[in-house]
Amino acid sequence: MRTPPARTIACNPTRPAWPYWMGLLILGVAMLIAGAAAAQEENIKSHGYSFYGDLTYGPDYTHFNYVNPDAPKGGEISLSTLGTFDSMNPYSRKGRGGALSTVMFESLLGEGVNAVAPADVYSEYYCLLCESLEYPPGKEWVIFYMRPEARFSNGDPVTAHDIAFSHNLLLDQGLKSYADAVRKMIPKVEVIDDHTIKFYFAEGISRRSLIEQVGGVPAWSKTWYEKTGARLDESRLETSPGSGPYTIEEVDVNRRIVYKRNPDYWGKDLPFNEGRNNFDRIRIEYFGDENSAFEAFKAGEYTFRSEGNSKQWATAYDFPKVDNGYVVKEELPDGAPPTPNGIVFNLGREVLQDKRVRQAVSLGFNFEWTNESLQYGLFKQRASFTQDTPLMATGVPEGAELELLQSLGDLVPAEMLTEAAVIPHTSKPERLLDRRNARAAMKLLDEAGWPVSDDGKRRNAAGERLRLTFLLNSSGSATLSAVVENFMSNLDAMGIEAVLEKVDASQYTSRERDRDYDLVFDGYSAFLGTGTGLMQRFGSEDAAYSLFNPAGLASPLVDALIEQSLRANSREEEEAALRALDRALRYEFFMIPVWYNDVHWVAYYDQYAHPEIPPYALGYLDFWWFEEEKAAVLRDAGALR
C-alpha cells in the first residue's frame, strides 16, 4: 500500500501562523470536551438493574428459568403461624401485624410472594410496576418509566404520584432508622409526569443500594390515604388497595387470614409473573402453641408446613397419612446462606459491655450436647454471618482482605491480622456442662471482676450479683425452650443468676422492640452482597434504636468495613470487604451462634407440585402449584377438613 503524501498547509506570509494553529487547538479541545460530554450523556436504559450492569435475563425474556410457565392456576395452600395479631398494617411499630400483610403491595422493581424474584440469581432486580429505568453511569439519579396499565385492586391507576407519596410516607411515618438513613441518601424526588418519576441521590455517598432502594418502595394509594386520613404508623385492620396479585378475602383476628388471587390482576401476563402466583387462595391459620399447630396439620386443617423443629422432623412424622402417601415429607436444597440467628447479647447493658463476660456466658452453650440430645444430630454449628459462601472469613486474613484491613490502621485490633477468624468453641457431647469450658468461663468472669463470693454466687466489688435475664416467646417451640433452659442451667452452675422470662407473643414483641432483655434468641440477615441495609443492621448510627440490630452493635471498625464495601469498584473488592466484615462481626462477639440446616424441611398434603428449587427461595407461595386430580383423591379419602 502506498503511503499517502504528507499534507501541506498554506500560510499567509504577511500574517503569523499561530492564530491558525491556535484555532485548530481550540477546535480539537472543543471536540474532546464534546466527546467526553457525549460519553457522559450515554445513560443506561434497561428493563432491570444490577450494580455492575450484568443481568441474567435479557429484555426479551419470557419467564424466569426455574418456574413452570405452564403451571395451572387454582386451588388453595394453607399454612400455620403462632401467636396473635391485631393489625393488618405491618409497617407500624404499634400492634402486631398479620402474616403476609405486605402481600398486596408491589414496587417498581418486583419481588415474589414471601420470596425473592428472581430466585436463581443474587442482587438482580427486574421491572414490575415500571417497564424500564434510566440512569447515568455515575448513578447520580434514576428515572423510572412506569407501566400505564398498572392498576390498584379498586381499578385506580398506579401513578408516579403514588410512588412519590409512598416514598415520603415512609420517611414521615415509617421506622426512624429507615427514615434517617434514606433522607441522607435521597434528597429529592421529582414526578415528571403521571408515569415517570425521578429520584436524585446525594453527592459524596456510595451509589450502592440506592436504585434498588427506591425501586423497592411499596406502592400505596395516595388517594386512599388522603381520603381516609389513615397513617402508616398506626395499628389498623383496614388496608389501602394494593396492586399485587392477591387481595384480602377474610380477616378473623387471632384466628385466620385468607388472601385471594385477584382475577383482574393487571400484571398476570407479564413475563415477570409467568409461572408464578398460581394459587387462588392463601390461608393462614393462627395457633397458640406449636403442639396444637402440629396436631391441626395432622388432622388436615391446613396443608403445608415448613418445619423448623428437629424433634418433630425426626420423630413426629410417623402418622398414618405419611405412611399412606397422603402427606409428603421432603428435604429440598437450600442454596442461600443460613440466617445468622443465635443468643444475642444486649450490648446496652453495662455488664455485657465487657467482652470477657460475653465470652464466658457463651461457654455455657454446649452445641454438641444440644444437637445430639435435643435435636437428633440433624444440625450443623454455624460460625459465620455468611456461612458456606465465598464471603465467609476463614483462617488468617490474606491477599486483598489483609491489605484492606491493614489500610484501616488502628481501627483493626492487631490480633485480627494475625489470628484465625473467630469460630465457636467445641464441647463434649456426653454431658451438658463441659467442665473444661466451665473452668475457662469462670476464669474469664474472675478477670472481669465477677468472682465467686462465699455463697457460691458471682458478685462484683460492690456486692451486686451477676444477674442475666433471657427473654423468650412462650408460643415458640418446646425444643427451643428446652435448649434455652439447659443453657441457663449451665450459667447457674457458673454462679450467674440466670432468669428465664417466658412471655406471650404480644409482650415479647413489645419488649423486643424496646430492647428490654439481657439475652434473647434472635437473628440478623445474611448477606451475599453489600448494600446500605448493612448500616441499618450493623451500623453505629442507628444502633440505639434499630429494630434490625437487636444487640445494639456499634463498632467503628464494622462501620468502616461496610463503607469500604459500599465504595467497592469491582466484585473482587466488594468480596474482600465483606469477608473482612464477616471477620469483624465475629470478632465483636455480640451473639452466640447456634445451629443451621442446609436443606429445607417441608411436609405437605399431596396436592402440590414444584419445579426444581432455585438457590435463593423455597418459593412455595410463589412458584409451586395446585394439582386438582391429586386433591380429589385426598378429598375422597377424607384426608382434609
Q: Which residue has the cell 421491572?
A: 127
Tell me how far apart the alpha carbons of residues 624 and 260 are, in angstroms, rounded to a whole number. Answer: 16
Domain boundaries, the chain: 45-73+83-243, 260-336+598-637, 341-596
Q: Are 639 and 301 a contacting pair, CB within 8 Å?
A: no
Tell me how far apart the alpha carbons of residues 600 and 391 are, in angstroms, rounded to a whole number. Answer: 22
Q: Are 478 and 291 a contacting pair, CB within 8 Å?
A: yes
One fold for both 45-73+83-243 and 341-596? Answer: no
What are the backbone dihedrals phi and psi of residue 540, each rounded to the nearest 5 degrees, phi first? -75, -35
pLDDT tens readout for residues 122-137: 899 999 999 999 999 9
Work out the average pLDDT over 602-617. Answer: 97
Annotate 335-364 with three-state secondary structure: CCCCCCEEEEECCCCHHHHCHHHHHHHHCC
Q: Are 140 and 200 a contacting pair, CB within 8 Å?
A: yes
- Collect all residues with Cβ–Cβ distance below 8 Å to 620 and sequence separation of at least 6: 77, 304, 306, 602, 604, 608, 610
pLDDT on residue 27 = 37
Confidence of residue 32 (pLDDT cuts 50, 70, 90): very low
What is the model's pTM?
A: 0.83
Tell me how far apart the alpha carbons of residues 344 and 597 are, in angstroms, rounded to a whole number. Answer: 19
Q: Which CATH superfamily is domain 341-596 in?
A: Dipeptide-binding Protein; Domain 3 (3.10.105.10)
pLDDT at 5 over 60: no
Domain 45-73+83-243 CATH class label: alpha beta
Residue 455: which of 495, 395, 427, 404 has the closest Cα? 495
3-state secondary structure of 540: coil
Amino acid at 303: T
Work out the average pLDDT over 523-550. Answer: 90
pLDDT at 201 over 80: yes
Element (H, E) at 165: helix 160-173
Residue 505: which of 538, 468, 471 has the closest Cα? 471
pLDDT at 12 over 90: no
Confidence of residue 41 (pLDDT cuts 50, 70, 90): low
List the grid coordinates of 502.
417466658
CATH topology of domain 260-336+598-637: D-Maltodextrin-Binding Protein; domain 2 (3.40.190)
Work out the number of other CB atoms within 10 angstroms of the CB of residue 516. 15
pLDDT at 40 over 70: no
